[in-house]
Amino acid sequence: MNNTNHDILVAKGCHGARKLKGTIVVKGSKNDALQALAASLLFGSPLTLTNVPAIEDIARLGNLLTALGVAITEDKKLGKKSLTLDTSQLHSATLDDDIAKKLRASIILTGPLLARRGEAHFPHPGGCVIGERPIDLFLDGFAKLGASITIRNGRYHLTAPRDGLRGAEIFFRNQTVTGTECFMLTAVLTKGQTVLKNCALEPEIESLGKFLVREGARIRGLGTTTITIDGGPLLKSLRPSYEIIPDRIEAGSFLILGALLMRELTITRCEPGHLDAVIAFLRSAGATIKIEPRQIIIRATPRQSYRALPLTTHEYPGFPTDLQALMAVFLTQATGESRIFETIFEGRLGYLETLARMGAEVHIHNQHQATVGGPTLLTGREVTSPDLRAGLAYLIAGLVAKAETIIHNVHCIDRGYEKIDERLAMLGFNIKRHHSP
């Protein structure tokens, strides 16, 4: 199934007004749900996932799994989606080229498939255009576990030794989120002990890891940079069920929306503890934020001005690269010059040229560094979303601006934000979606 739509969003700018007051509910985490779908391959019995966001990336990973023989059933209760994945009829280890090429996260299936079926075949994974996004750390890790790797016609073919993968020590040269997730899952079905070093610390990894431990996996060191896994057979617990944690990037996006565009916004069903870096940044810039259990309230006055601040992205718990573009929109409205340093990806500043077309004062120094001046009056334009996060940044910039902004490539935004137009319209913003055939 091809989920790519050609919808257009039209947003009417508020011209800097901050009149609205409302509440928005945060959906389940995209990145947690993606790895949880992959975790179904570790189970001998059906795995149920709850609080799954209804977004295109999940649909695509689901389609990949279905083509491998995984039966997926959906249930929707109280607005929360759940999926049950039954891998008992898994019959293939070959990822569909068309889908895998569009989804970077498809790489996460390869390790568990290799461990369970002794082989995995896949193209170079695609996804958001935010940098080179190599897979060398994955290939190095698979080789360490004893797999042989061949590359033919742009496809990777992994084969486990006859007696299966063997545990090993893997040091990640970069802290890689999907790499850590993939090898943690792979090692659960790998004989012997695997030690993963320089692991990513993103809360999604700890959350899924703790669930796997409850279901019988032997994983130590969760929440630290060294994770040790003693592998074994398929997990066979009765009715395993995992609740996807709230999406901290979505919650952070709403915090920025609230600071820029609302008198008061209550962000509910979120985990404030996962947003320390974003909250600290906004508070230093002058935002008023109140933290309560599972919710955050942000208040702004119509004439409130914010201070410019240097923004440096960092692996968790530092400032997330996924909120860099949105925070840049915020900085166009702060007083003074802000230096942006994107340390994770080398292709994640391109959106600034579009913000400049909207009137932002921007200077791109190199692939990683730029300066944004403010406050500036933005004006709506016709723009094309280059990736998920920059796409939402354009939408928010369009709401801050005067006049109308038309956004193309909306499917990029739909990849990670569930029905964002409807949810923001419920808050009172004037956003319309035009479906194209």
Q: How far does Cα 437 stand from its chain's mean position?
A: 28
Of 101 and 133, which CB lies nearer to ligand EPU in the complex structure?
133
Q: For residue 50, give the nearest of 20, 27, 70, 66 by alpha carbon.
A: 27
Tokens of 269: 């069903």
Q: For residue 128, indicate whether it is catalytic.
A: yes
Q: Find the shortest distance in angstroms from Cβ 322 to ligand EPU.
A: 5
Q: Find the shortest distance in angstroms from Cβ 18 to ligand EPU.
A: 27
Q: Find the shortest distance in angstroms from Cβ 180 to ligand EPU.
A: 8
* Long-range Cβ pairs for the range 291-295 (8 Å, 24+): 294/268, 294/269, 294/270, 295/266, 295/267, 295/268, 295/269, 295/270
How far is residue 379's CA from residue 405's CA, in Å, rounded to a whole number? 8
Rounded to the nearest 10°, the torsion over CA 11, 17, 20, 23 is 70
Q: Give the full edge-to-edge strand order of the sheet including 119-123.
A: 119-123, 155-159, 148-152
For residue 392, the one-letter residue type is L
Please provide the distance, in angstroms rounded to a whole number, between the alpha carbons at the two ends of the chain. 16
User: Which of 128, 182, 270, 412 is labelled catalytic?
Assistant: 128
Of 181 and 421, which CB lies nearer to ligand EPU in the complex structure?
181
Q: Find the shortest distance in angstroms from Cβ 202 to ligand EPU.
A: 7
SS3 111: helix
CA distances from 376 to 34, 307, 394 (A): 38, 13, 15
Of 54 and 297, which CB lies nearer to ligand EPU in the complex structure?
54
Tokens of 424: 């923001």
Strands, E assignment, 214-261: 218-220, 226-230, 241-243
Of 103 and 160, which CB lies nearer to ligand EPU in the complex structure?
103
Of 3 and 237, which CB lies nearer to ligand EPU in the complex structure?
3
Q: Give the strand pairing for 169-171 and 193-197.
A: parallel
Instruction: Report the interface residues with ligand EPU, using CB under 6 A.
Output: 30-31, 34, 104-105, 128, 131-138, 174, 176-179, 200, 321-322, 344-345, 388-389, 416
For residue 300, the one-letter residue type is A
Of 105 and 222, which CB lies nearer to ligand EPU in the complex structure?
105
* Catalytic (active-site) positions: 128
